[in-house]
Structure 1
């Protein structure tokens, strides 16, 4: 047995079956199971017992493979036609490559510890040496000689496919596979493929489209060219999956895609983008979507489109607002509806043309925010706060005020709220929140909304108290400052507490036998939550009201010791009955209106001068004129309660010659019929307003902004300890953006104020850096 195993290479290779079996495998002839097993045994025997056996095996294999490759080369090179050459090569390569999977297997030397011949063998996988030998032989003998012809022929087939002519896919695929599988290098298996087939494919693609794109664009125009370019991109992507290597180690498909993008789109980007503004203006969303798909492939292709969208939204939106400025500046409902219409219009463009791409949504938001906060249509001039505030503030959009007015229309008992269902009111309130998201200075909205809410709660004119409280919670959800929301919630709580106090006060009056207990209603409100003006306007109350003041104060002091009551008569109102020959009319009026009308209580037919009324009511001149104006020219009344001679167009025209008297012919006409009994509301929008309240409100907004800026700067400095001026301003704007956008001048002034008061200081070595002082 040992003698059989130890036979020499010559005996096994030349005289035995080793050579014949190897030749059969190489030529794809049938090999029996016994022959296959004997080949393994022979290789084992040679390499284990003959020190030079393995080298002899490799030499013999190399000679046999070289002879096989040379024979194959002659057969392949006999074909002069490109097509037949391709077919012959692919057939021979497929046959040879199949054998590269079988032939190396028997030639793997056994791993027996210290086997003979191992010193002559580089590496452990001897089969890999055989595989490398086979591939190198094919590469040197055939591929190196005809690879150029193979590439040219394969590219001609791809060209035929691009032209729509007949083609054979498998020929190109076969060539590609030979390129991919030929490389025997361990570090880069795709080296031959990349340096030859991939390179030729990309060059052929570039040459093909460079010769056609410019001509197609000139003949067919930009719109048709965009369709053409997108179709060709898709075609080339699909073609790449067939003809190029798509393994994880290959990026051929990506390179082809980038090549096609550069040729088809990049070279003509400016010409394509030139059509974008017109498409946006004419709502050609399908064409915009096509352009979007193309420009999304090109570096910095989307940027110009975003700029065009942003410019269109701002210019178109502003033009639309200006065209109907006369209507929307006086009607909050139409104003909000116009803003919502614009938002829906531009959102549709972004959705249909750009599929709600986040980049275009950002452009929409940025431009829409500019429209909402624009001051060219209407603006709000905030007052000047002399101490610590900016010397002069920039005009701001009136949008926050109009939004607050619209909320008031929806929540107050008005014709608007009455014609809407509860769900419709809720939907419109949420629309307001949508617009409010884009309002830059939300603190203005907060102040006006709070003023309207105060009016509704004091007068009891809320259409739906549940909606009122829901809106406050929605403010919290959309990121309104917690301090503001909490104050609104406290206002509702105060009203509920006041209701209980009022019931107890009325009960105490009944116990005293006072017959007017049910006609008196008091509201005791917390100054911290309501924060109305501290201004005390002097007024001479009617005796009927004057008697109740000490009773209410004694009652409240009896329940709460140490608390101070302040009377704000401009927030009070009542109902008086006016009697004449036409009938009886209940007039809902403010305390100031009541003081004026009661001047005639004991002298109904007399005519009183402006000075008489000033002495009778003790009202300041401005309040007296405004209140008289509301009684003489109430806009919703055909017949006025009070008349003036001579007639004037404005309360400012009242002078010493003006005389006022009760209109004894006052009647209420409804549906063309004179009413003998009616109730008339003369309060209008006067309630909660004094002559200086609007100015004070605006000044209070500025004053609060000053405090907010100071507070935010200190908070940032306390956290950072040291910070540059630019970084401080960036963080400050980010911190305050949910309330207002601070002006640079205000920021600078408040930083100087904080430095002056030793909260912070400038760095001695860097004037643009600040240091916190604990």
Structure 2
């Protein structure tokens, strides 16, 4: 009997065996599958039996896997149908959301467990993809489970597709309630979003369902809400209050988006949309308030406007223009109001410029948070103020053959004067500490950055440095040398800075020569030699004008000239000395009935005063002083004026008649005499002894040499332009007119800004002299001629 049964079993076909195995095993598997779907407890034995049963069925025949897959699909479909009934039993929005989220989270959790026992089924299905059965899953690219995909697709088709509009609508109503200040459980919206995010089984775009449904609905609902609210808020409360409203709501929406949206891309899309509704639509109305706010320095409101407009494409362009206009108008107006004060004092002028810079910088910092774009606008506007010619105008001279120049700002000249006040022994430098002087010199460099024609500053700064070094008038030699290095650091041309450095070296060499001269002549002249200081300087290093002025020197000085020349001839045979008396100075002792005083004077002042050396009480006419001093008329007038109208003394050294308003009004018969009541007054008390400098602000150059200096600025600019053009052409060989202009300005910007007319004239000159030519086919192309 047993043998017959075994024989009967062995003779069954494979299909019959497969059918028997599936039919025997599925009833054992199904209860466990249902428990898993319902999240009921499954013990370890049931879990292991499910794995074994699936394996046993697939072992007999891999084609049996399709039966398992189909049966499993039916179970999943049945379960989802039951879940759908439970969800749809709730009509109220929040109840519906709660029910859906509860069902979905249970189901999604099982999507991680249920596929595990059916790995063998998936392997079998994927190895037999030739079947045309509609129940067969399609192969996919990633490692997602086929069963998991089945579960998600089933949920999507049965529940989600049917009620997603209700879900979205309910979720958006809750978000709207939150915007209106009503309380609710935010997890309801988050749960809906999670279902959208996790539901998609597309391996190429996991967020497709979320993006096309939840994200889109969220953005549209936000736009709709604020489109009405924003217009109402603007009409009721005005622009300035509306800005606060918009700023607050944007911050709220950003926080809300981080809570309810899935990705940073979604958040950015939402914020772009919200900005468009809250800000962009009313951009023109908001920006109309900007000029008034800037003028009234309402930095808090401006900062709010800046933060709003910075979110809008090209939103700050108008703000940048408004800031520039304000800085230019306010700066020039301030300079005009204070014109009477600042035109008389370079210190007050520079201080005024610095005060404006600090004021505008504070505005940019507090209102626009030092945004680099606004700092650039500040710089552009401030540059216009610094280089404005309304108040201070420098007219460079025009001579035949020299290009005609347009008026320039005197700022670089006044800047050099202020720098001189800090570096020279003056009341200003004496009352400041070393750190304060250094800070103010750095301020000079700050303003210098905005000066267009830096070559004018260079020329005047060098003249002042020459004066300080020759007169030993520097307050701090270390600061002098530091200033040269600072000029190098801020981009001053290297050749200019190197020349200043050679001046310091030249002075040190001169000091050694002076000591040698004193040692040599102390033996014959005794202590008198110590009172003479000579400065033998290299004309190439100092580059002063070639003009020498005749003057009748006192015999005490005249006697030393041949001795100095003989001394130098022995040291350096073949070199020639040229005497520049207008650059010299000395100290004379003046005695009268009041007391005895030491006076620091220029050589020209000394020559004039020595006319009274043997006749102290006589009146001498202008004509006779001219004969006695042998000074040219312009220099004599300037020198006499410094002795009759010196601003720092209460009793002038010389008196004259008739009185005039300026040195140009002196006549041949104007008479001068020594003031026997001259004295030094300190604290309103007459002093019997004292020392005073009458050198004052007298330049170490003559009127004629000053004109030559100014003409030299123009001539040097012409040469610099020619040099730069040739340099560019040598490198490029061929270059367009526009590119040549741009590169030329880039090269010369640290010295001066060449005008279009100057560039054009120098290009024509270079073409006439065969340095360059126009291209035969294109007149806008220049070609270098080697």
TM-score by length of 2: 0.92
Cross-structure match for 1:333? 347
1:12–1:166 Cα change, 3 Å: farther
Where does residue 653 of structure 1 map in the other structure? 665
Which residue of 247, 253, 257 corresponds with 1:230? 247
Distance 1:123 1:53 in 2: 18
Q: Take 1:245 and 1:587, find their aligned partners in 2: how far apart are those partners?
A: 87
Aligned to 1:98: 109
For residue 488 of structure 2, give the secondary structure of its aligned residue in structure 1: helix
Alignment of 1:523-542 (within 5 A): 523-542=535-554
Q: Is the 8 A contact 1:202 1:259 kept in 2?
A: yes
**1:127 offset after TM fit, Å?**
6.5
| Alpha-carbon displacement from aligned partner over 1:523-559 (angstroms, at most 9, x marks no partner) | 0112122111111222233333222212111111111
Shift of 1:29: 2.6
Q: Distance in 1 between matches of 2:161 and 2:650?
A: 106
**Structure 1 residue aligned with 2:3:** none
Inter-partner Cα distance in structure 2 for 1:605 and 1:153: 112
1:553/1:565 contact within 8 Å kept: yes
Shift of 1:135: 1.7
| Conserved 8 A contact 2:18-2:60 | no
Deviation at 1:13, TM superposition (A): 3.7
Matched, 1:544 2:556: yes
Change (3 A) 1:304 1:32: same
Displacement of 1:669: 4.4
Does residue 1:361 correspond to 2:378, yes or no? no
Query: How far off its partner does 1:605 sit?
Result: 5.0
Report the counterpart of residue 622 of structure 1 in structure 2. Answer: 634
Query: 2:120 pairs with 85, 109, 112, which one?
Result: 109
SS in 1 for 2:120: coil
Q: Aligned to 2:586, what secondary structure does the other structure show?
A: strand
Looking at structure 2, the residues matched to 157 and 587 of structure 1 have their Cα atoms a distance apart, in angstroms, of 93
2:149 aligned with 1:128: no
After superposition, the C-alpha distances for 1:253-299 in whole angstroms (9 at most, x for unaligned) are: 11111111111111111111111122222222111111111111111
Map 1:313-332 onto structure 2 (within 5 A).
313-332=327-346
Contact 2:396-2:711 at 8 Å conserved across structures: yes
Larger displacement relative to structure 2 (6-15 or 733-742):
6-15
The aligned residue for residue 482 of structure 2 is 470
Whole-angstrom CA distance in 1 between matches of 2:42 and 2:261:
36
Q: Which has the higher mean CA deviation after the structures are superposed, 532-541 or 513-522? A: 513-522
Deviation, 1:750, is 1.6
- How do 1:189-338 residues align onto structure 2 when only pairs under 5 Å count? 189-246=206-263, 251-338=265-352
Distance 1:502 1:80, change over 3 A: same
Task: Give the Cα separation in 2 of the matches to 1:218 and 1:95.
Answer: 49
Write the distance in 2 (CA, Å) between the matches of 1:579 and 1:28: 120
Q: Secondary structure at the match of 1:212?
A: helix
Q: Tell me whether 1:587 sits opposite 2:604 in the alignment.
A: no
Q: 1:127 to 1:686 in 2, by over 3 A?
A: closer
1:44 and 2:64 are equivalent in the alignment: no
Deviations 1:720-752 (A, max 9, x none): 222111111111212221221111111111222
**Number of the residue aligned with 2:770:** 758
**1:744 equivalent in structure 2:** 756
User: 1:137-156 to 2 correspondence within 5 Å?
Assistant: 137-156=154-173
Q: Deviations over 1:401-460 (max 9, x none)?
A: 111111111222211122222222222222222222222221111111111111111111
Distance 1:457 1:116, change over 3 A: closer
| 1:54–1:117 Cα contact (<8 Å) kept | no
Distance 1:499 1:663 in 2: 37
Alpha-carbon distance between aligned partners in 2 of 1:72 and 1:641, rounded to the nearest angstrom: 115
3-state DSSP of counterpart to 1:771: strand
Q: Check 1:698–1:8 CA distance in 2 against 1; reply closer, same or farther (3 A cut).
A: farther
Which sits farther off after the overlay, 712-721 or 115-124? Answer: 115-124
SS at match of 1:336: helix
Cα distance change of structure 1 residues 127 and 103 upon mapping to structure 2, 3 Å threshold: farther
Cα distance in structure 1, aligned partners of 2:90 and 2:228:
32
Q: Is the 8 A contact 2:58 2:124 kept in 1?
A: no
Measured in 1, the distance between the counterparts of 2:704 and 2:640 equals 17
Q: Judge conservation of contact 1:48–1:115 (CA < 8 Å) in 2.
A: no
Partner SS for 2:145: helix
Q: How much does 1:637 deviate? A: 3.4
Contact 2:324-2:378 within 8 A present in 1 as well: yes
- Give 1:703 shift: 1.6
- Does the 8 Å contact 1:49/1:116 carry over to 2? no
1:150 and 1:670, CA in 2 relative to 1: closer, same or farther beyond 3 A? closer
Q: Which residue of 1 aligns with 2:358?
A: 344
Aligned length: 769
> Does the 8 A contact of 1:107 with 1:126 survive in 2?
no
Distance in 1 of aligned mates of 2:47 and 2:690: 118
CA 1:416 to 1:37, structure 2 compared with 1: closer, same or farther past 3 Å? same
Structure 1 residues 81-96: aligned runs within 5 Å? 81-96=92-107
Report the Cα distance in structure 1 between the residues aligned to 2:699 and 2:273, rounded to whole angstroms.
Answer: 72
Aligned-residue offset at 1:316: 1.0
Change beyond 3 A, Cα 1:553–1:670: same
Q: Structure with the greater relative contact order (CA < 8 A, sep ≥ 6): 1 or 2?
A: 1
1:456 aligns with 2:468: yes
Deviation at 1:131, TM superposition (A): 1.9
Offset from partner CA, 1:494-540 (integer Å, 9 cap, x none): 22211111111111112334552112110011212211111122223
Aligned with 2:746 (options 734, 740, 760): 734
Aligned-pair CA distance for 1:80: 2.6
Measured against aligned partners, the alpha-carbon deviations of 1:351-380 in whole angstroms (never above 9, x if no partner) come to 111221111111111111211111112111
Please say if 1:706 is aligned against 2:712: no
RMSD: 2.6
> Any conservation in 2 of the 1:237–1:257 contact (CA below 8 Å)?
yes
Tell me, in whole angstroms, the C-alpha distance in 2 between the residues paired with 1:128 and 1:33. Answer: 23
Q: Which moved more, 1:588-597 or 1:515-524?
A: 588-597
After TM superposition, give the deviation of residue 599 of structure 1 in Å: 3.4
- Segment drifting more, 602-611 vs 164-173: 602-611
Distance 1:581 1:359 in 2: 69
* 1:113–1:758 CA distance, 2 compared to 1 (3 A): farther
Q: Structure 1 residue 164: deviation in Å?
A: 1.3
Match of 2:76 among 65, 71, 88: 65
Q: 1:584 to 1:253 in 2, by over 3 A?
A: closer
Could you list the runs of 5+ residues in structure 2 that have no partner in the other structure?
Answer: 1-5
Residues 617 and 244 of structure 1: is their aligned pair in 2 closer, same or farther, counting only changes over 3 Å? same
Deviation at 1:208, TM superposition (A): 0.8
Question: Structure 1 stretches of 5 or more lacking a match?
Answer: none
